[in-house]
Amino acid sequence: MAEVTMPRLSDSMEDGTIIRWLRSDGETIQRGDELVEVETDKATIAYEAPSGGVLRIVAREGETVAVGDPIASVLAEGEATPVPAAVANGHEAPARLIASPIARRIARERGIELGQVDGSGPGGRIVKADVMAAAAAPAAPVAAPPTATEPVPSPQPATPAVASSPSPAPSGSAKGDVTIVEPTRMQQVVARRMAEAKTTVPEFAVQVEIDMEEALALRTRLKALTPAGQRPPSINDMVVKASALALRDHPHANGAFVDGAFHRYSRVNVGVAVAAPGALVVPTVLDADRKSLGEIARETLALATKVRDGTIAPADIEGGTFTVSNLGMFGTTSFTAVINAPQAAILAVGAVSARAAVHDGVVCARQMMTATLTCDHRILYGADAAALLARIRELLENPLAMAL
């Protein structure tokens, strides 16, 4: 018998949730068959069977299991199905409780026995709202029997009702009905990491205005040269390339502050923030400084498609050394992004729009873009950050330099 345990599908993964079994209990499977969909802290991933045989499922759909704990077993041909000890002793095996991590934490903090809580989630999963409801439920009153010295009251005639104006019905919450939506594992991790970044990283931001006239002109020329069916490099692809080249020129910014020490990386891997339904995922363009604009364009398109389709893999989101976040497509002119710790910095990019600017000594309308660099002050000082951002601006204002 081979035991199938919850796999570690990312460096930061501590546990995973069984979303859907892709094979049935008792089914004969082959090594490499897609076995189960697991939701990790970064994505939902199909995990393949490590060996062939007869599948015996241990963890049910909706259950959260720690990395390394069993989720199933695979029996060799003719091997007997293992019998739980409780069944062997003549008792029915207790069902495993399915509860979300936040529900388990709240129950532990408030001394609530999860076995006494009815789950309202998928497959009877206990969610935060169930535990909160159990905590708020009053204990059933116990009526004390009358003592020998206490007379039992005699029934009294009913008192005639006094006419009065009807009381208004309770209006309930001023906010109306409240729907509690439990965050996904990915949302929980994003929330935790953003809170950690804001409370543990001494950050500061620097900002510049970038003249994008030449970059837009280059994109127009590249669009005319792009083969049919392919996407020409976008402005964001140019920002990724410019950031990668600037990091190569300023290697101290291509690093992190980890366990009290500076980590400087030899590879320049730029993460690109992508909005997914109800989540934010940052896939990585590896070795972005060595790739052409065309290669970066094709790779970012493929990665964004995987994020939105829910097919992103752990390898696609690991290894980032710097992050670019772009909200320009929503019309946002400027914003300050939260550092993707432990990285040294993140670049927030706004929309390209016509603004009054001085060009060749004349005030005129130019296509401008605001870029804001948020930095970890433990790694980068003001002058370092300003130099890095100035180099990014220089490359975007002279985009042909990115081809050298």
Q: Which residues are catalytic?
A: 377
User: How many C-beta neighbours within 10 Å does residue 62 have?
Assistant: 20
Question: Which residues on neighbouring strands pair with residue 270, listed in sequence order?
Answer: 285, 322
Q: How far apart are CA 52 and CA 39, in angstroms?
A: 23
Do residues 103 and 126 touch, judged by C-beta distance below 8 A? yes
Which tokens belong to 279?
A: 């989540």
Q: Which residues contact 51 (CB under 8 A, 6 or more apart)?
A: 2, 31, 74
Q: Which residues contact 208 (CB under 8 A, 6 or more apart)?
A: 370, 371, 389, 390, 393
Q: How far apart are CA 232 and CA 293, in angstroms?
A: 9
Q: How far apart are CA 303 and CA 274, in angstroms?
A: 9
Q: How far apart are CA 122 and CA 267, in angstroms?
A: 43
Q: Which amino acid is at 119?
A: G
Q: How far apart are CA 33 and CA 50, in angstroms?
A: 8
Name the packing angle between helices 101-110 and 185-200 (round to 10°). Answer: 70
